[in-house]
Amino acid sequence: MARVVVDVMPKPEILDPQGKAVLGALPRLGFHGVADVRQGKRFELTIEGEITEEILAEVDKMAETLLSNPVIEDYEVHVEAHSVAEVAAEEGR
C-alpha cells in the first residue's frame, strides 16, 4: 500500500487562535525561543495499488473539495513512505 499525505494549514493572513494558545503555553512550560506557532491538519491517505499521476490529481481534488477550505486554508500533497505512527514505532516512542 502506498501513502499520500495532505497537509492543511490556515492561510498566513488568517488568525489562528489555536496556534496562538499553544504559543502562549510553551514559555509557561519552560520552552523558549519559539517565535510563532501555526496549527494545521495532516491527513494520511493509504492508497490501493501504485501511486500514479492520476491518483495524485485525484488526491489534489479531494484536498481542494473536502480536506481543506480554500477560502481560509492552503494545502500541500506529497507522497510519503512512512506514517507518523511508523516513524514513532521505529524511534521507540
Q: Which is nearer to other proteins, 72 or 87 (CB)?
A: 72
Q: Which is nearer to other proteins, 17 or 49 (CB)?
A: 17
Q: Which residues bind other proteins (CB under 8 A)?
A: 10, 13-15, 17-18, 20-21, 66-67, 69, 71-72
Residues ≥6 apart with Cβ < 8 Å to 15: none
Residues ≥6 apart with Cβ < 8 Å to 22: 37, 39
Sign of CA dihedral 53, 58, 63, 65: positive
**How near is the Cβ of 13 to other proteins at its closest, in Å?**
8
**How near is the Cβ of 91 to other proteins at its closest, in Å?**
29
Q: Which is nearer to other proteins, 13 or 54 (CB)?
A: 13
CA angle at residue 73 from 69 to 78, to 5 degrees? 95
Q: Which is nearer to other proteins, 2 or 45 (CB)?
A: 45
CA dist., res. 83 & res. 67, Å (int)? 18
**How near is the Cβ of 26 to other proteins at its closest, in Å?**
16
